[in-house]
Structure formats: C-alpha cells, structure tokens
Amino acid sequence: MVVTEVRPGSPAPRTARTASRSGHPLAGVAAATLMLATSRWGAYIGISPFFLTDALLATGLLLVLVRRAGSAVGRRPPASRRGSPGPVALLLLVYVLVRFAAGRDHSLLALRDFAPYGYVAVAFVSAGAYRRSTGRDRALTMTVVSYALLFHLGWVCLVRLLPTLPDHLPVVNAEQDIHIFSLRGSTDLNLVGVTAAVYLGRYVRTGRWRYLMVAGIGVALVLGLPARAALLGTAVAIAVSLVVSFTVAATSGAMRDRRLAAIGLLPLVLVVAALLFPTTTGGGQLLSGLGVTPVSSDLDVGGVATVQARKAAWHLVLDYLGETHSGLFGVGFGPDFLYESGARVPLGNSAYLRSPHNYLLGSYARLGVVGLVLLGAVTVGAARLLVVTRRLAGTEEILLFASCYAASVFTTALFGVELEAPFCAVPFFWCLGVLLSRPTAAAPAG
C-alpha cells in the first residue's frame, strides 16, 4: 500500500486507485471563488441584469439537486449534519421573498436592492453540498479557494506597483468606469486580510516559511493603505485563525516548540505593534478617526470627516424610519430611503449609493425589526457553531476559511457597503452555509 500525504490547501493525489474517486468541489464554489478572485470588477461580467455569477449559482443549485437525487441510495452522510443552514435561515429567505413579492416596486432597481438578501439562498447550496461531501471534496474545494485568494492577492500587488494599470485594461462597466483589476479599497484589502489570516494559520500548523511570507505581504498591504474597515476586518480574521489554529493538538515536537515560542514572544510583538501601528497609513487613520491620536495628515482629516458624516447619515435614517413608522417591516425594496431621509448628502450624494455604510442599519431600513432579528439569529448561529467546531476547523481548512471570511466581511460591513453587493454577499452566505451545516469530524467514506 502506498501512503501519500495531503497537505492543507493541496488537492488529493491522483493515483490509479483514487483517480476514479478524486472528489468534486462543493457546489456553489465556482460563483464564490469568481467573486474571491476578481472582487468588484468580476461581478460585472455579463450583460445586465444577467451576470456570470448568477449563472454559476444556478449551476451550483442544479448540481446539488442532481447529486442529492443520485446518492439517495448511496452513502449516507452523518446524521448530525444537516442539508440546510437551518430553520431560521429558511424563515429569513421566505421573509425576504415575501417582502419583495408584497412590495409595490418590482423594477430592476428594486431587484438590485433585493439581491443582496436573496443571496441567502446560496447558504442552502453550500450546506447541502457540504453535508454529502467527502474529505477529498472539501480538500479540493479549499485548493480552488486558495488559487482564487492567491490570484486576487497577485493582481492587488500588481496594481499597487502599477496604479494606472487598470486604466489600460478592458472596461467591464462603462457607466461606473470599472475596468479589469479596478481596486476597491476596503473590499479588496479586506479579502487580502482574509488571505493573510488563512496563510498565517497554515504557518502555525506546518511551520513552512512561504506561508508566513504570504501572510506578511497581505498584512503589509492592509496597513499601507487608508482602509480602516478593512484593517478591523483583517484583525478579526487573524484572531479567528490564530485561535482556531492553536486549538488543534500539536502533532509533533516542532509544532509544540513553535507554539511555545509564539506565546513567549507575544508580549514583545504586542509592544512593537502598539508602537508601530500609529505610524502606518491605515493605523494612523483609524486611531485619529476614533479620537485616540491627534490629526496629523490630510488623510487623518478626511478620516475624521468621514466618521462625522456617517454618524450624521445614520441619525437621519433612524429619524426617517421613526417618522414613517417603517420600523417593524422596513421600507422594502425599491424606495430610496437614503435620498428621502436626506442621508445621501453627507455620504457623498452619489446616485449609485443605496446603503448607509452600515449593514445592520441598512438591513433594518429595508427589512425592519423582523428581518434584522432573523438576520442576526443566522449570523449568531454561525458564530456559535464555529465555537463548537473550532477543533475541526483547525484540521479542515475549508472551515477555517469560511470562519475567517464570514467574521471579517461582517465586521467590515458594519462600516461599509460590502454585503450590499454580490462580490461579498455571495461568498459570505456560501461560507455561512458551510458553517451552519453543523460540520462534524465524521465524513462519508471517500
């Protein structure tokens, strides 16, 4: 018998014995990784209102249905896993669909407002696929995700070195002047931070320096640009990755030594970070925006003004919802509550802006208290299951990625518009579906 090692993030080896059972990526991962690899500009590939992302999602749903029908008499998944993200997620999806159907506006603009919440359906695709997956399926899925993350990190580095490069590449959306490789600050840097977190976790578990190098490049990019929300999201992703990675039992003396060295150096690292953090572009802007440090540059001035503008906009939205008695069920999809409340002016007064730069507030405005409670219950449920399955996430990297991405993007969305668009909403709900499927160490025989 030949024994081969499968490293985290690498595909299972193809031998004569396993070639016919090499695994399949989880359904829906094609759409999710398209968004991971390309970010905003990839979301516009297609002809409005039909885009490549939607076609890939439809294909993923079809694959789930076909595989479920084909395996009805085959192997049985662990009973502890469930083939959906749970009843609360189903209630949220039904509520969103009913809210849209019952609304008076069914235009393309209303559909645009509905889509970010309609992507809750993606969680059902990934949960169903995870339930019936094998270890090979999940390893192959993580390999695909890793390639997408590295591709994204590569072109972001390229654009940082050649800032005018996107201007010379094809346009994917002429109306908003979006080109291939167009960089969207907080969104792209947040994803770079997730990449850093995943590869830092790999380094903790394996000790391979190339993983630490990738993580270092990612952290340097995030610190070097003025994107405070992405900086917070990166910090959350790295914290999740380290907690999960250190939860795994040490399998060798070298791994145990690395952990002891890391724990011993932690106080020194924290002191150095505290001294250097305010000198970085992102760190300085974050601290001055919070009033911790004095304003010392034009970026800091702009950062403080942005904080004040968003606070003003949030108050206007809340006042508007109170005056219109829209708190229970929200204004629905279609109404431009930012314009009607006057909140669009302090946020820049762009006609394309449909969110108050706060995911919870935007969800409250669109869906009301009912939708906000359901959405909160889904995210809290995913967080609870992460805590329960943290040891498994330390050995099954697709769970680690799902945890880091979901936590990071949700954090960033509290100060931005990330989850109002498919380039973050699709992978976010795909990750939630994986977490909410109740992952277990037991797997179908593969």
Q: Are strands 46-47 and 50-51 parallel, antiparallel or unpaired?
A: antiparallel
Where along the chain do its domains lie? 24-68+77-248+280-302+377-436
Mean pLDDT of the residues in the chain: 82
328 confidence band (pLDDT: 50, 70, 90)? confident
Which pLDDT belongs to residue 351?
82
Report pLDDT digits (tens) over 399-428.
999 999 999 999 999 988 889 888 899 999
Query: Is residue 182's pLDDT more than 90?
Result: yes
Residue 24 neighbours by CB distance under 10 Å:
15
pLDDT attached to residue 14: 43
Span 358-375, mean pLDDT? Answer: 95
Q: Is the confidence at residue 186, as pLDDT, over 90?
A: no
pLDDT at 283 over 80: no
Query: Quick one: what percent of the chain has pLDDT higher than 90?
Result: 44
pLDDT of residue 77: 55
Work out the pLDDT band at 265, boundaries 50, 70, 90. low
| Window from 193-202, 297-306, 381-390 with minimum mean pLDDT | 297-306
Name the pLDDT band for 203 (thresholds 50, 70, 90). confident
For the stretch 120-172, pLDDT in tens is 999 999 998 888 888 899 999 999 999 999 999 999 999 999 999 999 999 99
Give residue-wise pLDDT tens across range 224-253.
887 788 888 999 999 999 888 887 765 666
Residue 17 is predicted with a pLDDT of 40
Instruction: State pLDDT tens for residues 81-134.
Output: 566 788 999 999 999 999 999 988 888 889 989 999 999 999 999 998 888 888
Residue 375 confidence class, pLDDT cut points 50, 70, 90: very high
254 vs 29, higher pLDDT = 29
Per-residue pLDDT, averaged over 354-383, amounts to: 94
Using one digit for the tens of pLDDT, what is the confidence trace for 284-294? Answer: 666 666 666 66
